Structure 1
């Protein structure tokens, strides 16, 4: 596809595609960079394959390609999508392409299992990275010299960026857009794409209600349902144990075995999940604290910072979508 002179002035984003590429890992970030042109100078986007030939995605969709690796002289950003069939799809030719294009790029972004490819060519040695939780242990075992952050949405270490994959690729692309054009543009693009908020990289891949094993016994199910229905109650271990007619020690043992959390830890996680929803809907920090059972905004702030690494007010300022931008 020919590029205009104006296109050449914009940061060039190269997306390396290959047979077996996961479509959402490709299309999600690409849409962010494409939509950026409505709120900024935008990007010149080029799809690259090893030979320049079209490729076929993991779901059988044919993907058109603009250029071969040999035709690319310089990139601002290299994006490497992942695949459900990783690491087998990262053949020697694909790995050579990753190495070559990374050397010609200002920054490198891997989506989901593409972290395997970037790691395999030695670019992540001694660095932090992330991938989808399903592949995190395998990645860490294969490359012990890398620090895999198993629960992060996305990670930056120097010029190397990585995301947990699938929808998290959109979060990473928005973060890169923010670096290039500022937070107002990134928020505006998130709104154009109907992304409810732009998540921080340190945010967990899971909410508390999705993390870990589900409650199995009637006792733990009753307690979790009770906490969800009454988040503002004090919820001491004794009070929860009394609700299900067992001793505090017995309840603690059951919840540790089934949910990998003490009653207090579970209550705290649920409150923070609910508090995030309050903040996203526009509730003040004090209001979110009161609505989710914290004794004060100070105690809420401390708990929030421990989990997310930023204050509630900073979270709200950076990530909440307030109203549509005209």
Structure 2
């Protein structure tokens, strides 16, 4: 039996809290955007991070790269603790850890050509010399499916899908080992989304990248990811391989997310779990299990303490005190 490689990225009890000052119509307090998340990402692994808007996905992704400074916890990259690392040492790691942003237009300098944008990344990280950088830029453009002449054009001259290809090329320019992909297709047309997802999959396999893929489209997550982490109000509710999670969800929130996905068959009907109410404010999260205020299975004990992740099978963990739930027959309504 082959031994599992050590984690490339190891996140332990990570917290990101934002203090909010008092105002005339604002009580003040602390927003617990990420509240004690632990997960490992292994070399060449694609981990999907899912949850509703406001669940803390983007904050977590940026905190892992220290684009947002965490409040507490630990992030180790290739065995090295990066929280508290001096700026110069952190800059040296940037070539190994990159990000693809959700909005490709906002993430590109409108006054720089694509060639200048890619050349700047190479220059800042000391990759190649002035003489060979044009060839490197051409190779990057070819890798993401853009023509050579794209190097001389500006971001506004491209479509949304083409701009996202530029963003991917910029992330790949420095030969990273780990990339956070922050909802990279959510701003694109459906027809273009598939092209970008297939491109990411091909590049990940070709270059052996580890990916933390943040998304809300569960069909994309299932297609692309090896493992899935379900986040709710800054806390992990469930984690499992993609195949296991979609076949056998063990947390009511996961079941609700899966049930919310549309059926690709016109006129089809099914029984599904419907969540009531809105996501609670991270400024004042519920006591105990943060999902209990919307959970149809909640018990009084759910409000007493936050449930830790418990083993629910090989590679499968769930944060729920109830091990007796049969989610194949949820409290539900039948909808089209």
Larger radius of gyration: 1
TM-score, with normalisation over the residues of structure 1? 0.31
TM-score, with normalisation over the residues of structure 2? 0.31
Which has the larger share of helix? 1
